[in-house]
């Protein structure tokens, strides 16, 4: 009895797994597909396995994995964007400092630095000119567009 019941169930499941599809050409010459046979025309019956052409639905575990992957991707993108913004801010600060130093050198007047012994020393005109050339290079490198 159990064998007959199992066989009947398997047979019913196999019929449910195949969907019926009908194909016919209408009076205008268009090919039409439907799950219902045409009322007054001859049609060809096509057996299509269930789920053909459609992806199998994802399980809850697969959906959770996909969701976690998309969250991880979003976190990675946010981290990269934050790092890029930090670098851009650092570059802007370096550019501003280099320009301020160049303006100081171009303003004229006396410029003092600290010598190797830690004592203040005034720069002469040649030293100021050398520092200005260095500052111009620093501005050029620090302020170039990235």
Which residues share a beta bridge with 18? 49
Lowest mean pLDDT among 12-21, 33-42, 67-76: 12-21
Closest CA to 55 of 66, 70, 44, 46: 66
* Mean pLDDT of the chain, nearest integer: 82
| Rounded Cα distance, 108 and 23, in Å | 92
Residue 10 has pLDDT above 60, yes or no: no
Bridge partner list, 24: 32
> What is the DSSP code (8-state) at residue 34?
E
Mean pLDDT value of segment 103-114: 88
* Mean pLDDT on 48-64: 74
Percent of the chain surpassing pLDDT 90: 41
CA distance 19 to 54: 13
Q: Is the pLDDT at 16 greater than 50, yes or no? A: no
Q: 111 near 128, Cβ under 8 Å?
A: yes
37 Cβ neighbours under 8 A, 6+ residues apart: 22, 43, 45
pLDDT at 13 over 60: no
- Residue bearing tokens 């052409």: 53
**Tokens of residue 90, six digits:** 């650092």
The pLDDT of residue 15: 47
């Amino acid at each position: 009895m159990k064998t007959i019941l199992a066989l009947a169930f398997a047979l019913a499941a196999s019929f449910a797994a195949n969907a019926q599809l009908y194909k016919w050409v209408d009076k205008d010459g268009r090919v039409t597909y439907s799950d219902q046979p045409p009322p007054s025309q001859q049609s060809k019956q096509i057996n299509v396995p269930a789920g053909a052409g459609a992806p199998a639905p994802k399980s809850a575990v697969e959906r959770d994995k996909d969701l976690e992957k998309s969250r991880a991707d979003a976190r990675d993108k946010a981290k990269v964007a934050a790092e890029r913004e930090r670098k851009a801010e650092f570059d802007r600060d370096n550019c501003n400092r280099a320009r301020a130093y160049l303006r100081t050198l171009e303003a004229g007047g006396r410029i003092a630095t600290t010598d190797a012994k830690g004592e203040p020393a005034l720069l002469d005109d040649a030293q100021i000119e050398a520092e200005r050339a260095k500052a111009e290079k620093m501005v050029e490198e620090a302020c170039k567009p990235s």
